[in-house]
Every structure is written in structure tokens, then in C-alpha cells.
Chain A
């Protein structure tokens, strides 16, 4: 008995590595601390009512934001482990198999569990406020999406201490990811973690398309929508067409692994390249899914902090929509070297370069917006200014990679690594950070401290170039991606050391940001006006933080930037309070515990499939079915916020008399 428990435990828990024992200890300690706080301060009820069951888009947005920051930390630690290992030749810090696991989880987490949720957090925090709505179109589904993401991410991260991490790269190419190449459970964690959160992503895409189509304030015609809303719309279009491809592809891989299929195996008529073809049909659109909202954020910030209308609104909209369609026609550039023939490669090389045109147009629009503007250098604007040159270089190296014959040299070298980090950090991360600095006061009612923010800004920016510029050169010197060490004779040592220093600078930048948040909770400049940046769009017309129902009176819009035009018309005097007689009771959705239980059941099912414990998998699935039934037969899903409560809230905010 003891022996069998021991042998089970030694294969169930990951053992033998001090780093992992450290992680075990810290996980157990943190969990105990959290439980202790919840019990000691009797916070269970509060947590359940206010957060876990909420369908309020603002709270869901905040939960996305903090979960993604946590994942940024985990992915960042992975990155620093890798850079430590590569700092000098022949370092013995990580072994080859461990290194493989670390780069796999780094990539997967950063894209799927950091960038995507941070983006969804911004969608949720901003879009309904920007279009004058009281919630998203499907608030219940919104909560389902969040919890699916959350449990998917937990399942994926669990592989670090239980069962073993996936180690076949962030896209799990077969045949390496097949049973023949990865017999452990790591790849199962990969498949189920992504599948569960992927359903949530798809649902969010649908939710925001419908929200934008159906819930805009009266008078807000398409061509009067704010740019960020447009970018969310284009990004969601890509989501609803790209994510099903990912789901199907991973399901096929699962059939191979779980049921002995031969879709992508080397033998039995399998076709591994088909997987690569399919996964990039999602993978390329995915990079545009995450970058388009960043473009939208920059457009809002540039206009606000230059005190001008965005230049070339129509061309911006056209660029966004054309990128969302074009992004489906370039995927082969990720495997030019597969050698599908000159005709295929030429067609996709040209399509890839074509995307550069609308992207370039947007850059000029930002520049022209700033031209002769009255620029204020506050934190959101600093990140925007840092983004422009960084992204231009990233785009240029992208076009270099898009030259198919040349790509035979660059492919899978450090040149490629430098390219995509430049667009992902310089574009996506800088963009989301700019967005967080910009909208933070709206959601939390105070600004983030300027001085600490500036330290973080410079650390990130200097760190970025110190880290990634040497990697372009290393690529030319022949260093390929995914090598875990190299010899002195290669001559790669000095540049790698520089690169590692840059990575740690960015890491320190992140620490400053955590400190900045904690510091500002206490000392941050409070926002009593609701409009701390003197901005242009509707979200700034309501108090910060907004009341639960957002708008006591649904705004009527008659032009672009109508909030700004209103302010100008009354010479920036404070808006007159609304007479109480104009207020009404407000129809809102009720909280529900079903989403979190539903997603937890998926987690149980996923865990069961990972270890092939059928009893567990099927009880999880049964729970999924029961949750759906319970929801289908719940009719009491909404209520009216009483008029007295609306009046009281509005009066307290000084918005009603």
C-alpha cells in the first residue's frame, strides 16, 4: 500500500528539482495565507457576492486584469530563467529538458494567458462605458468566459508541479507533440488548458461583436464610434473566425494522442505538416487579434493628449477592417521553409507585405494627429511615444522576414525571436500598459503614481532595446532559437550577456510597476471629476469609479467625440447636474454562481482527461451538463435597481439635484 502510494506520488508530483520544490512550498504557503485571511476576516460572503458571481463587466475586467498581471509574472520568471541559462556559454543552470519546458510555457502563457486576458480585461473595462451602455450584451456569458479562461490557465499552470510541463514548443508541433515524442501528460495539460480557455475567448469575441452592434447609445452611428471600440470590433471579428480553427486543430491532436489516431503522426498515413498549416491559420490572425486593440488604445491616447481629433478617422477604420480580413491570408509566412513551392511562397509573401500598408497608414495617422497638437507627456502618452519607433522597426524586420527566399536564412533564428518580441512587447505590451495607465483612474478612482511610473517606463524601454537588439545580430551570427546552451567557440557570449542584462532591466521595471500600484492605492492622486485627462469619449462623462449601472441617464450622441464637443460648447465648465425627475429605476442582470461552477466542472473534466482518469473526466462533464440545465431553467435573471437607490448614488456623486 505504502509502496504504491509512493510510486503514484513520485510520478504524479514533479520531483527532483529544487526550483520546483520551491514552487511547491510557495504555492502551499500562499494558499494557506489566502484561506486564513478569508476565514479570519470572514470575507467569504463578500468574495462570493461581489466578485466570484458578478456579471458586472467592470468587475470582470478588473479580475481579468489582475489574473493577467499574475500570468505576466509567471511568464516573466520563465523568461528570466531562460536568459540566465543563456547569459554565458556552457552554463549549467537548466538542463535541456527543463529548458524545453520553460520556453514552451513561457510562449503559451504570454500569448494565451497574459496577452489575451489583459486584452479582454481592457475590452470589459472600457467598451460598454465608451458606447454608453449599462453592460455587455450577454453579461452571464461574459462571466462564463472569464471563469473558463481562469480555470484553463490554472490547469495549464498546474503542470508545473503536477505531472510535468509541456515541452514541445508553444505551438506543440507534431510529431514531437504526439505520443511517440511526448509520452508524458504535459501535452495533455497544454491541450486542455488551451481548449477550456479557448471556448471562453470565442464567447468573448461574440459577446463584444453583439455589444458593439446592438448596445450603442442612441445616435452613435458606426462612423461616430470611438477608435478603441472600432479596434475591439475588428479584433473580435478575427476571434470568431480564428478561434474555431484552433479548437479543431487541438481536438485533432487530442484524437491522435488519446484515441490512437494517425492524423499528424509520422506513420499510418499521418500528415504532420497539416497541423502546422492549420495551427498557423489561427496563429497569424492571433497576433493581429492582440495588436489591433493596442492600436485602438494608442488612437484614443494620441487624440486625448494632443488635444486634437484623431487624424484620418475614416482611413483608420478602413485600415482596421482591412487588417482583420487580410490577416487570414498570410499564414504560410510561418513555414515558408516547408517548401510548398515558389508559387505558394510568393503569393503569401505578397499578402504579408500587403498588411504592412494599412499598418503603415495608421502610423502616419498617429503622427499627423500629434502634428501641431498641444502634447502633454503623461504616462499613457509616454508609452505611446515609445511604441511608435519600436513598432516601426518591428514591422520593418517583419517585412524582411516576409521575403520568402531570405526567410530561409532568418527562419527560427534569433532574428525571428527579436522580430516578434519587438512587435509583441513594443506593440502589444506597451499598448496594454498605456491603456491600463489611461483607464486606471476611471476604474479605480485614482491615478497611478507618476514618479514610480517613470522609473518603470525607462527601465522597460532601455531594457527592451538592450535585450532584443543584440538578438538580431545573434540571428545573423547563426544562433538558432530553442538552444539551451552553446560553446565558447561560437562567439555568441558577449551579445547574449548584454541581452540578459536587458531582460533583467525589464524585470526590474515590472517590479516598479507592482510597487507603483501598491503605492498609489494609498497615495495616488484621487480623481473627483471623472475626467482626469480632459478626454474626449463617453466613459469620461460619468464618475470614477462608475456606479454599477454606469449611466444613470443613457447619453444621446450626435457627433464623433460628442463628450468633447459638449465640453467645448460650455467652455469646459462642469456639466450641470441632472434633475432628479429625469432619473428612473434601472433594469440590470442578476449575479449568478453558475459560471464559476460550470468552469470548475470543465477543470475537473480536463484534469481527468489529462491523466486519463475516466471517472473524473465524466463526472466533470456531467457537472458541465447539469450547470447548463440549471441555467436553462432559471427564469429569475434580472431585476430593477430601485429609483431611490439611483437617486441616492447620483446625489452622492454630485451628479443629480
Chain B
């Protein structure tokens, strides 16, 4: 448990623990390229192809989910750190709340189409 405010990071003091690995340049570059590719694909699909509406939506959502994973793995250091995995717990709770929000919104709003 570090007693130092994390904003006062460990530059130039050398007494800080070495295990706080913040990723390599290679990982950042790979992550960056992957993110760009994953962003360009939906754009191309929308502007350059005439895929069906459902096809487009599925492509965008798939790319978004992969992008999320890329961000977590390459930039957010989800695999690193010691001690309790608070970040993973938070992610799971977040995922749960997202599911609740989306599913219940569909449920709440679908009544509109029932009465029409």
C-alpha cells in the first residue's frame, strides 16, 4: 500500500518498486495500430459498401467490443498490478449495470410499439 500520492509519481527517485511495469513501446504501438484499424473498418463498411442495415449494426458493435478489449489490454494495463483485482471487479459491476440499462430500456420502451 503506497503512501505516496500517485500523482507524485516515481520519476527520478529510484526508491520506488520496480514491479510497476507500465507496458512497452511495442505494446503501445501494436495497440495504437489495432485501434486505428478497428475504427476504420466500420467507417469503410458504412461509406464504401452497401451492406444491409443489420449487417452494419452488427459490424459496428463487434468492432466496438473488440476495440474495448484492445484498450483494456494494451493501454489500461488490465493484466498488471498486484493485490486484489479492483479494476476487474469494477469492470464486472459496470458490465452488469450496462446489461441492466440496455435490457430494461428495451423492455420499458417496447411498450410504445405495443400500443401503436
Interfacial residues, chain A to chain B (CB-CB below 8 A): 55, 133-141, 210, 213-216, 218, 237, 240-241, 245, 271, 273-274, 277-278, 281, 328-329, 332, 339-341, 344, 554, 587-590, 635-638
- Please name all residues of chain A whose beta carbon is closer than 8 Å to the beta carbon of B94 when the two chains form the complex: 241
Give the CA-CA distance A606 to B3 in the complex, in Å: 38
- Please name all residues of chain A whose beta carbon is closer than 8 Å to the beta carbon of B11 when the two chains form the complex: 635-638
Do residues B108 and A277 form an inter-chain contact, with CB atoms below 8 A?
yes
- Please name all residues of chain B whose beta carbon is closer than 8 Å to the beta carbon of A133 when the two chains form the complex: 3, 5
B44 within 8 A of A: no
Do residues A216 and B1 form an inter-chain contact, with CB atoms below 8 A?
yes
What is the size category of the interface that chain B forms with chain A? 20 to 34
Do residues A637 and B9 form an inter-chain contact, with CB atoms below 8 A?
yes
Which of the listed residues A237, A274, A638 has the most CB atoms from chain B within 10 Å of its own CB? A638
Residue ID in chain A nearest B3 by CB atoms: A554
Do residues A587 and B114 form an inter-chain contact, with CB atoms below 8 A?
no
Give the CA-CA distance A344 to B109 in the complex, in Å: 10
The contact of B1 among A214, A237, A240, by CB within 8 Å, is A214
A635 and B12 in contact, given A213-B86, A215-B1, A339-B111 (Cβ under 8 angstroms):
yes
B8 within 8 A of A: yes
Residue ID in chain A nearest B11 by CB atoms: A635
Do residues A137 and B108 form an inter-chain contact, with CB atoms below 8 A?
no
Can you report 17 A-B residue pairs in the complex whose CB atoms are below 8 A from each other? Answer: A55-B7, A135-B5, A138-B5, A139-B7, A141-B7, A210-B6, A216-B1, A241-B94, A241-B97, A277-B105, A277-B108, A332-B108, A344-B108, A587-B8, A635-B11, A638-B7, A638-B11
Do residues A588 and B8 form an inter-chain contact, with CB atoms below 8 A?
yes
Measured between C-beta atoms, what is the minimum distance from B91 to chain A in Å? 11
Contact flags B73-108 to A (C-beta < 8 A → 1, else 0): 000000000000010001001100100110001011
B50 within 8 A of A: no
Complex A-B, nearest 8 residue pairs according to Cβ-Cβ distance, in ascending order? A638-B8, A589-B8, A135-B5, A140-B7, A340-B111, A139-B7, A341-B111, A138-B7
Give the CA-CA distance A512 to B87 in the complex, in Å: 47
Do residues B5 and A134 form an inter-chain contact, with CB atoms below 8 A?
yes
- Please name all residues of chain B whose beta carbon is closer than 8 Å to the beta carbon of A245 when the two chains form the complex: 101
- Please name all residues of chain A whose beta carbon is closer than 8 Å to the beta carbon of B107 when the two chains form the complex: 344
Do residues B100 and A329 form an inter-chain contact, with CB atoms below 8 A?
yes
Do residues B8 and A637 form an inter-chain contact, with CB atoms below 8 A?
yes
Give the CA-CA distance A329 to B105 in the complex, in Å: 11
Give the CA-CA distance A341 to B104 in the complex, in Å: 13
Give the CA-CA distance A140 to B9 in the complex, in Å: 11
Do residues A340 and B9 form an inter-chain contact, with CB atoms below 8 A?
no
- Please name all residues of chain B whose beta carbon is closer than 8 Å to the beta carbon of A587 when the two chains form the complex: 4, 8
Do residues B7 and A637 form an inter-chain contact, with CB atoms below 8 A?
yes
Measured between C-beta atoms, what is the minimum distance from A421 to chain B in Å? 27
Do residues A344 and B111 form an inter-chain contact, with CB atoms below 8 A?
yes
B112 within 8 A of A: yes
A589 and B111 in contact, given A214-B2, A215-B1, A328-B100 (Cβ under 8 angstroms):
no
Give the CA-CA distance A332 to B100 in the complex, in Å: 13
- Please name all residues of chain A whose beta carbon is closer than 8 Å to the beta carbon of B6 when the two chains form the complex: 137-138, 210, 214
A281 and B108 in contact, given A133-B3, A589-B8 (Cβ under 8 angstroms):
no
Give the CA-CA distance A139 to B5 in the complex, in Å: 7
Contact flags B1-39 to A (C-beta < 8 A → 1, else 0): 111111111011000000000000000000000000000
- Please name all residues of chain B whose beta carbon is closer than 8 Å to the beta carbon of A635 when the two chains form the complex: 11-12
Measured between C-beta atoms, what is the minimum distance from B75 to chain A in Å? 14
Give the CA-CA distance A577 to B94 in the complex, in Å: 47
Do residues A589 and B5 form an inter-chain contact, with CB atoms below 8 A?
yes
Give the CA-CA distance A344 to B108 in the complex, in Å: 6
- Please name all residues of chain B whose beta carbon is closer than 8 Å to the beta carbon of A237 when the two chains form the complex: 93
Do residues B109 and A136 form an inter-chain contact, with CB atoms below 8 A?
no
Which of the listed residues B2, B4, B8 has the most CB atoms from chain A within 10 Å of its own CB? B8
- Please name all residues of chain A whose beta carbon is closer than 8 Å to the beta carbon of B7 when the two chains form the complex: 55, 135, 137-141, 589, 637-638
Do residues A328 and B97 form an inter-chain contact, with CB atoms below 8 A?
yes
Residue ID in chain A nearest B12 by CB atoms: A635
Give the CA-CA distance A135 to B2 in the complex, in Å: 12
Measured between C-beta atoms, what is the minimum distance from B101 to chain A in Å? 6
- Please name all residues of chain B whose beta carbon is closer than 8 Å to the beta carbon of A141 when the two chains form the complex: 7
- Please name all residues of chain A whose beta carbon is closer than 8 Å to the beta carbon of B101 when the two chains form the complex: 245, 281, 328
- Please name all residues of chain A whose beta carbon is closer than 8 Å to the beta carbon of B111 when the two chains form the complex: 339-341, 344
Residue ID in chain B nearest A219 by CB atoms: B1
Give the CA-CA distance A332 to B5 in the complex, in Å: 41
Give the CA-CA distance A218 to B2 in the complex, in Å: 10
Residue ID in chain B nearest A140 by CB atoms: B7
- Please name all residues of chain B whose beta carbon is closer than 8 Å to the beta carbon of A271 when the two chains form the complex: 109
Give the CA-CA distance A307 to B107 in the complex, in Å: 50
Do residues B1 and A340 form an inter-chain contact, with CB atoms below 8 A?
no
Give the CA-CA distance A329 to B111 in the complex, in Å: 18
- Please name all residues of chain A whose beta carbon is closer than 8 Å to the beta carbon of B1 when the two chains form the complex: 214-216, 218
The contact of B112 among A134, A273, A328, by CB within 8 Å, is A273
Measured between C-beta atoms, what is the minimum distance from B89 to chain A in Å? 10
Give the CA-CA distance A277 to B11 in the complex, in Å: 47
Give the CA-CA distance A241 to B93 in the complex, in Å: 9
Measured between C-beta atoms, what is the minimum distance from A59 to chain B in Å? 14
